[in-house]
Structures are given as C-alpha cells and as structure tokens.
Amino acid sequence: MPGELTAKGKATRSRIVAGAAAVLRERGVASTTLDDIMARTGTSKSQLFHYFPSGKDELLVAVARFEAEQVLEDQQPYLGRLDSWEAWEQWRDVVIKRYEAQGDQCPLGSLFLQVGRSTPGARAIVIELLRRWQESLAAGIRALQAGGMLPAELDVDVRAASLLAAIQGGVSILLSTGRSTHLRAALDQGIADLRRAGSAVA
C-alpha cells in the first residue's frame, strides 16, 4: 500500500475490509469475487487496487487480520478482566456461544486455506492472535494470584498455554463435527483445574 494513508483513507480501507469480511462469511472464500466485494462496499476497481495493489490475496490477508482481531474482541469484556471465578465462568460462556454460533464454518481457517499460511503476513497473524490470547489468559491467572485465589508459585505461563491448547483442540473438533461437546469439556476442565489449585491457598 503506497504511502501513509490519511484518516479518511484509513477509514475507507477499514470499510472495505469489514465489507469484504461480511461477504466472505456469507458466500465463502471460493465463491466470492472482487466484483462482489466492490458491490457490497461501493468501491470501484481502481479504488480497491489503490488500497490493495496486489489484489485479492492482499485483501484476504487484511480480512484474516480483521477476523483474528474479532476472535479476541468477541471475548470482551470478560477476557480482559478475568479477576474472579465468576468472570472466568462468564468468559467460558462467551467463548462457547461464539463458537457454537460459528458452527463448523471458520472464516479465519477458510481464509488461510485460500491464501496459504506461507503467504507473507499470514503466519504472523496466527502467531500474534495466539500470543495475545495466551497473554490475556496469563493476565487473568495473575489477577487471581494477586487476589489470593491462586498460589503464588503456580506456573502461570504453562497454565495459560495449556488452557489455550485445550480450547484450540476443542474448536478443531467442533469444526470437524459441528458439536461443541469437547470445547465445553476443555474449558470446564481447565477452569476446574485452576479452582483445584486455588483450594490449596490458605
């Protein structure tokens, strides 16, 4: 994308990305054309290529970044304030609701299948998403420690990594089967394990 965008340019680019995301969710990556996106967003071809000079693949990477951001945004405000057991349960419910609504269709996964994880920037999007997600979980565990609900010696990073891996496993099975049973079990077990660790606090 040439040069630094003005505030208006950034707003236009964001509008195109959000509109493209909506079309891709409705029609699927394989069935969506640039004409579909231009019609939805009210942009011309020259305008589209101004913001995405490399064409559809560049736009798809931008939409993947948007969808990755949405994964975390959909968990708010709970993911950002996991400082009580009640907050953890509320977060659990929000995560399950989000992925049950999504069902066996994953916009982010479909985008990566189309552009390939080796496409410049694509792998970085996944890495950044998982890093931020794990850091948020770790911050929540530390908040419980600070509140005296978990022992200070608990390995926060290992617990957060384990919980995130369990969630991703449950989501993967949901995408394969359309059933959220394993995701529910992963979240319930992960939170229960934390509670058991907390029961040792005097």
Give pLDDT tens digits for 11-54: 999 999 999 999 988 888 778 889 999 999 999 999 999 999 98
Average pLDDT, the chain: 90
Give pLDDT tens digits for 103-142: 877 777 777 777 666 666 788 888 899 999 999 999 999 9
Tokens 């995560």 correspond to 95
Evaluate if residue 6 carries a pLDDT over 90: no
- Going by pLDDT thresholds of 50, 70 and 90, the confidence category of residue 1 is very low
Which tokens go with 10? 């950034």
Evaluate if residue 79 carries a pLDDT over 90: yes
Instruction: Note the pLDDT of residue 102.
Output: 85
Instruction: Note the pLDDT of residue 117.
Output: 63
Which tokens go with 95? 């995560």
Helical spans, DSSP H, in the chain: 7-27, 34-41, 45-51, 56-73, 85-102, 107-115, 122-146, 156-177, 181-198
Evaluate if residue 147 carries a pLDDT over 90: yes
Give pLDDT tens digits for 183-196: 999 999 999 999 99
Amino acid identity at 175: L
CA atoms within 13 A on the CB side of 58: 11
* CA-closest candidate to residue 106, choices 37, 171, 36: 171
Evaluate if residue 83 carries a pLDDT over 90: yes
Q: Length of the chain, please? A: 202
* CA-closest candidate to residue 12, choices 48, 59, 62, 65: 48
Amino acid identity at 171: V
Which tokens go with 135? 């850091």
- Going by pLDDT thresholds of 50, 70 and 90, the confidence category of residue 55 is confident
Q: Before 77, cis peptide (omega within 30)?
A: yes
